[in-house]
Amino acid sequence: MQEYWYALELNRTVDVVEKFTLGEGVSRSTLTWDKESMGCFRSQGNSHVILLGVNTAEDYKKAEALQADAVMVDSPAAAKAWAK
């Protein structure tokens, strides 16, 4: 079975735009991965997930809990303290 690698943002801010007759409504929201969404994604075959934007110890712990295969950080020096 072929392996697939995906790079996904752990948290992503999005604007949800609803169009109405008299204008539009915009709501800002943050999409974030959870165990259910990760399980659904991995159920589609032999996939590996790299989570992007992991820049705090809290984010790192979440990535570990989600069983990410790898993470991308802005500061590798700061990340050394989290990965102990």
29: tokens are 């929201």
pLDDT for position 45: 84
- Please tell me the predicted confidence (pLDDT) of residue 73: 94
Q: What is the average pLDDT score of the chain?
A: 91
Tell me if 60 sits within 8 A of 82, measured CB to CB: yes
Residue 13 pLDDT more than 90?
yes
Non-local (6+) Cβ contacts of 35 within 8 A are 65, 66
Give the pTM.
Answer: 0.81
pLDDT confidence of residue 56: 94
Cα–Cα distance measured from residue 34 to residue 26, given in angstroms and rounded to the nearest whole number = 24
Letter for the amino acid at 54? V
Q: Which residues contact 75 (CB under 8 A, 6 or more apart)?
A: 55
pLDDT band (50, 70, 90) for residue 65: very high
